[in-house]
Amino acid sequence: MNKHADLRTHDRTVSDILAENEALLKNIFDKCTDIVYEHASFGPDFSCAALTVYCESLAENHTAVIQSVLQNVELHRMITGDSIRSQMIGEWFQKQGPTDRPFRIHASIHEVVGLILQGHIVLFIDRWDHAVSFDGFKLQTRNVEEPTMERVTIGPREGTVENLSLNLGMIRLRLQTPDFKIVRIPYKGAKSGKEIVYGYLDGVVPKSVLQKFEQRIGMIKDHEIIDTTLIERFIQDSVYSPFPQCLFTERTDVAALALLKGKMIVLMQGTGVILVCPALFFEFLQSIEDNYQRFMFTFLIRALRLSAFCIALFLPSIYVALTTFHPELIPTVLLLAISNTREGIPFPAVVEVLIMEFFFELLREAGIRLPKAVGSAVSIVGALIIGQAAIDSGIASPIMIVVVALTGIASFSIPQYNFAIALRLLKIPFILLAAALGGFGIMIGILLLILHLCSLRSLGQPYFDPVGPFRQRRFGQLFIASSMNGTGKDAS
């Protein structure tokens, strides 16, 4: 039997013959050198046989598990004088267990294989048709620390790690209520086998949203998922929209706040990224720190982010439209300054913008991919050198460097990285519309953008809420950190 055919044997039950179980597992784990098989015999005449199977690259303390079981078995024999039989040990496990370590009993080979690959130690006993698993996972994850991409000046510094149980525990500690439901998704990828759960606050999340979410999250069972970011494609309403419809975070306070607002969260073993859905347009322009600041500062910082959104999306196209089609709208002194700086530039404004935007995006990607110690320095020095060289060589004007720099800085102020990527994509069509039709082209683009945002849905919720449709009471909360009471019901 080859190793591909072995995968179909996972639905077999554990045999009461030890040799059959060992042969089946060795066939399934063919050429897996880190899978260890250890035999043990016990009893007064060593007539009882046992087999321990574990993955040495994932599990530890496997010797302590067996010693704990055998010592208790021997102690029982010495006290009672009873002869030790394999069936007796099986009965002990089914009642209370001859060990003080937590364990679970399994009858399926499929379960056993999955547990071995998750770092568990599995014990087989001859003439007993069940297996016992002990948790022996040894891999270390990152320490709990503040996420590098979501830093705040005040507030908790607690971020998620790659351990699912620890992440759930940190969120559970923030929401100490039985209404916080955690549901395990019946997902077992043929290759990845990652454990996936989702959580919500019962009575807060709208039932229609929860039902639609559960229908879509059920589609992942036939796919290999290695990170929560891959689950977004199954949940989002529009695949072709440039705007993200799910939010990602590595902060437990963000996840807790999202639950209080009637959202669902998705977590996965092996990743610290939490998926939050549904996510609406204006939520990508908000930060958790807004809830920890005073009223006036929150108002000003959210207004600043909205201004940054407009600058990152429209500034290059406005510059192209004014210099190409509407120079009469520019003040005379400023127009003369722009004309002097553009004297000798061989390209029209639209080509100049596209060239400099290309260079800026190239530097941004280089800064991200380079090692952290040199990435920021290279991106800053590269921008200065290339900008100055472009001006000296007559490829770009100084005002163009200012426009591109302001556009890039504005995009950096967007809290969510995946939302900032949408702005980087959309500004190109606006530049082309401005080059073709001037201000009229920009207005056409704005109208199309608003139509798209008003028609877009996130798990059935209006994406542009509370602007489209307009909701007066919630509109005021765009610039003010709202109360947590009843926010989920408002969404329905």
Cis? peptide before 156, omega within 30° of 0 = no
**Residues for the chain: how many in total?**
492
What local confidence, expressed as pLDDT, does residue 125 receive? 84
pLDDT value, residue 145 = 84
User: Which tokens in the block code for residue 355?
Assistant: 């060239």
pLDDT, tens digit, for every residue of 294-340? 888 888 999 999 999 999 999 999 999 999 999 999 998 988 888 88
pLDDT at residue 7, rounded to an integer = 44
Tell me how far apart the alpha carbons of residues 277 and 279 are, in angstroms, rounded to a whole number: 5
pLDDT tops 70 at residue 189: no
Q: Smallest Cα–Cα separation from 64: which of 140, 123, 19?
A: 123
Q: How far is CA 219 from CA 181, 230, 340, in A?
A: 21, 12, 60
Rounded Cα gap, residues 328 and 207, in angstroms: 56
Residue 277 has φ and ψ, to the nearest 5°, of -150, 155
The rounded distance, in Å, linking the Cα atoms of 451 and 417 is 24
- pLDDT of res. 73: 67
Residue 186's pLDDT is 74
d(CA 147, CA 287): 14
Task: Examine the pLDDT at 26 and tell me if it is beyond 60.
Answer: yes
**C-beta neighbour count of 191 within 10 angstroms:** 7
Q: Which two tokens stand for residue 365?
A: 């990607």
Report the half-sphere exposure of 136 (CA within 13 A, side-chain side).
26
Q: Is the confidence at residue 264, as pLDDT, over 70?
A: yes
Q: Give the lowest-confidence range in 30-39, 46-55, 377-386, 476-485.
A: 476-485
Of 106, 112, 270, which is closest to residue 192 (Cα–Cα)? 270
* Amino acid sitting at position 179: D
- What was the pLDDT predicted at 403? 92
| Least confident stretch, 18-27, 253-262, 411-420, 479-488 | 479-488
Assess contact for 311 and 410: CB atoms under 8 A.
Answer: yes
Cis peptide before 469 (omega within 30 of 0): yes
Q: How confident is the model at residue 5 (pLDDT cuts 50, 70, 90)?
A: very low
Q: What is the dihedral of CA 276, 281, 285, 286, to 10 degrees?
A: -50
Question: CA 423, CA 412: separation in Å to the nearest integer?
Answer: 11
Please check the confidence at residue 138 and state whether its pLDDT lies above 80: no
pLDDT of residue 147: 86
pLDDT of residue 480: 78
Q: Which two tokens stand for residue 273?
A: 């990224």
Instruction: With a cut of 90, say whether residue 143 has pLDDT above it.
Output: no
Using N-to-C axis directions, what is the helix angle for 439-455 and 295-324, rounded to 10°?
A: 140
- Per domain, the residue ranges of the chain are 3-135, 164-279, 291-455
Say which DSSP state 272 is in.
-
| pLDDT tens digit sequence for 191-206 | 656 788 999 999 999 9
Per residue in 219-252, pLDDT tens?
A: 887 778 888 888 998 999 998 999 999 999 999 9
Compute the mean pLDDT over every residue in the chain, rounded to the nearest whole number. Answer: 83
CA–CA dist 29, 158 (Å, integer): 39
Distance CA 87, CA 127 (A): 7
**For the CA atoms of 61, 62, 63, 65, what is the dihedral angle to 10 degrees?**
90
Name every residue whose Cβ is closer than 8 Å to that of residue 309 and which is 6 or more positions away in sequence. 285, 410, 414, 423
Q: Which pLDDT score, from 0 to 100, does residue 275 have? A: 95
The three-point CA angle 148-149-151 to 5° equals: 70
Mean pLDDT over 132-160 rounds to 81
Q: What digits encode the pLDDT tens for the residues 343-383?
A: 888 889 999 999 989 988 888 887 777 776 666 666 667 77
Residue 6 has pLDDT above 60, yes or no: no
What pLDDT was estimated at residue 199? 94
For range 445-469, the mean pLDDT: 93
Give the 3-state secondary structure of residue 177. Answer: coil
What would the pLDDT profile of 427-442 be if each residue is shown by its tens digit? 999 999 999 999 999 9
How far is Cα 399 from Cα 416, in angstroms, rounded to an integer?
28
Average pLDDT value for residue range 250-263: 93
* E strand or H helix at 126: none
3-class DSSP string for 141-176: CCCCCCCCCCCCCCCCCCECCCCHHHHHHHHHHHCC
Q: Global pTM?
A: 0.80
